[in-house]
Structure 1
Amino acid sequence: MQTEKVANHIITWLTDYCKNAKMEGFVVGVSGGIDSATTSTLCAMTGLKTHVLEMPIHQAKSQVTRAQEHIEQLKERFPNVSSDVVDLTPVFEQFKKQVPDAQDNTLLDLSLANTRARLRMTTLYYFAGLHRYLVAGTGNKVEDFGVGFFTKYGDGGVDLSPIADLMKSEVYKIGAYVNVPESIMKAAPTDGLFGDSRTDEDQIGASYDELEWAMKMEAEDKEIGDFSGREKEVYKIYQRLHRANLHKITPIPVCEIPDSLR
């Protein structure tokens, strides 16, 4: 990958899209992870107003520390960057008090994790509405189009996706080029939605390097029987998640009414 040229291409794309939409800039949620750090830096490099939001909900201290380090670095480097911290923990706790008790439901933890992501999306659009900003998504290609590792109308609820055509490994290359803090470059990827230390790999069962490989194999129309051992296991994981999350990956289905019924 021609890292510098790709970074400049994204910066130009962001700038043109924002100006053509007649908007004022971008708002980005930052988590202390590589995707949000790279995205927010690319937005800042447009020279347009870029507002970064930290939105903790029972967040691990290490994630908060990395996010704060990144925000401070961005504000030192770019005069067009502003920031806010919105602690959504009380909102989340109040939400849990208002919904019916579901303690015995095995899907409770996942539903609450997705609720966290949707509270953050709502907060991003609050600031976007106040300032005529676009919400910049932080999903990469493996997450958005491979295994569907995002929350529908949570971190998937955005106006534009600057890095969604980049594999995770490519995001790291861009991140290094735009000087994302070393602490973020070295941190294990995590969505931070469960309030514990579990990583993305813990949840998925495969690393991003393995998922990239599987995504490429699928593009080459490979079959499960073509592999053995760990490769076979990873390919099964990838195909299972891809099929299960097609409802997130593909456009929302529309029930089209036949002309004969009109």
Structure 2
Amino acid sequence: MQKKNTIDAEKINEHIVNWLKTYALNAKVNGFVVGISGGVDSAVTSTLCAQTGLKVLCVEMPIHQDPKQVSRGREHIEKLKNRFANVSNAIADLTSTFETFKSSVDETDDLAKLNLSLANTRARLRMTTLYYFAGIQGLLVAGTGNKVEDFGVGFFTKYGDGGVDLSPIADLMKSDVYALGKYLEIPESILNAAPTDGLFGDDRTDEDQLGASYDELEWAMLADEEGKTATDFSGREKIVFEIYKKLNTLNQHKMNPIPVCEIPK
């Protein structure tokens, strides 16, 4: 599996920052709100937003969060605040809110479905919280999804982390995000951490859930765009390509517009 060429981080940084600033000024808002997870996507997104000079609110929203994720997120926020005077932060501990929700709904004996539904609930509580802050401070919710997550395998929660106003890094592969993160001097603790959505309250990684690494999925996404099929590969490549195609097919409902029943005239 061959990796794609390295991006021109400086030019891409400048392009995204200009795009963000232009969009916000045209929308007549004060700036952006970003949910900080302790991962590279939210760290890069918030740093891009900070460079616009507009207000940037970084929000921590722990729900039974792994302490390592919390510490990485706070390390990034403090560094960002020291670099940019337009950056502020807020903490909304949603643990008790999540527990109240759990006690208010019926559970099921199907643990796989239960755990997935509760994981998605965490993401949707966070989306609601970000829009609360956006509403009272006149901000746009900046999405943190990258290209392989948003348009490849659909690895996001519908109306959770997928519920945003704009997506500054959604045309960048995960490897591009890492390259941009290094250029932006994101903390090493974040750059070296295994990617995780942090929605299950344990140490499972994105690769554990997806069955393939982001480098592998990027390769499969590019191969699919070239018109390749599973029959073109063998061994690990075939396995990864089939994982990609399965997830891409199952999650089309996230990537496509909501179906509308059109009434004939």
TM-score range (shorter-chain normalised) is over 0.9
Partner of 1:84 in structure 2?
90
Unaligned runs of 5+ in 1: none
Shift of 1:106: 3.4
* 1:125 corresponds to 2:131: yes
* 1:57 corresponds to 2:63: yes
TM-score by length of 2: 0.97
Partner of 1:75 in structure 2?
81
Rounded Cα–Cα distance in structure 1 between residues aligned with 2:176 and 2:110: 41
Shift of 1:252: 1.0
RMSD of the alignment, in Å? 0.7
Instruction: Select 1:212's aligned residue among 207, 218, 222.
Output: 218
* 1:160 corresponds to 2:169: no
Shift of 1:114: 0.1
Cα shift readout 1:64-110 (whole Å, capped 9, x = no counterpart):
01001001001110000000111100000000000013244530000
Shift of 1:238: 0.1
Q: What amino acid does structure 2 have at the position aligned with 1:109?
A: N
Partner of 1:237 in structure 2?
243
Q: Secondary structure at 1:26's aligned position in 2? A: strand
Q: Secondary structure at 1:43's aligned position in 2? A: helix
Partner of 1:44 in structure 2?
50
Rounded Cα–Cα distance in structure 2 between residues aligned with 1:104 and 1:121: 26
Q: What amino acid does structure 2 have at the position aligned with 1:13?
A: W
Q: Percent identity between the aligned chains? A: 68
Check 1:186–1:105 CA distance in 2 against 1; reply closer, same or farther (3 A cut): closer
Check 1:105–1:207 CA distance in 2 against 1; reply closer, same or farther (3 A cut): closer
* 1:175 corresponds to 2:181: yes
Partner of 2:99 in structure 1?
93
Unaligned runs of 5+ in 2: 1-6
Instruction: Select 1:188's aligned residue among 180, 189, 194.
Output: 194
Check 1:104–1:240 CA distance in 2 against 1; reply closer, same or farther (3 A cut): closer
Partner of 2:155 in structure 1?
149
Partner of 1:66 in structure 2?
72
Q: Secondary structure at 2:108's aligned position in 1? A: coil
Rounded Cα–Cα distance in structure 1 between residues aligned with 2:111 and 2:16: 43
Moved over 6 A (4+): none
Q: Paired residues, what number?
A: 259
Q: What amino acid does structure 1 have at the position aligned with 2:104?
A: Q
